[in-house]
Amino acid sequence: MKYDWMDAYVLKKRGVTKDFQPVWNWIRYHVGGKMFAAICLDQKKNPYYITLKLILKSVWNI
C-alpha cells in the first residue's frame, strides 16, 4: 500500500482501531468509536486519497 507509513504511525497511537468499509472501499481509523482518518481506495484497491479529521489534543494526551 502506498500509505504504509500512515498506517504504522496512527496505529501506534493509544486507542486507535482500524477497519475496512467494503461499501465505500475505505480503510478507516477510529478513536473511541469515532472515525478520524480514512485511506480511500479505488476499484482496484489502490489508494487515491486520504481524508483526515481534527482530533482534540486531550484524546491522546499529547
- 45 vs 55: CA distance, rounded Å: 27
Total domains in the chain come to 1
43: which 3 cell numbers?
Answer: 476499484
**pLDDT tens, residue by residue, 6-51:** 999 999 999 999 999 999 999 999 999 999 999 999 999 999 899 9
Single out the residue of 60, 33, 61, 35 nearest to residue 50, CA to CA. 35
Give the CA distances from residue 46 to residues 1, 20, 62, in Å, rounded to whole numbers and listed in that order.
7, 14, 32
Residue 41 structural domain: 4-60
**pTM for this entry:** 0.80
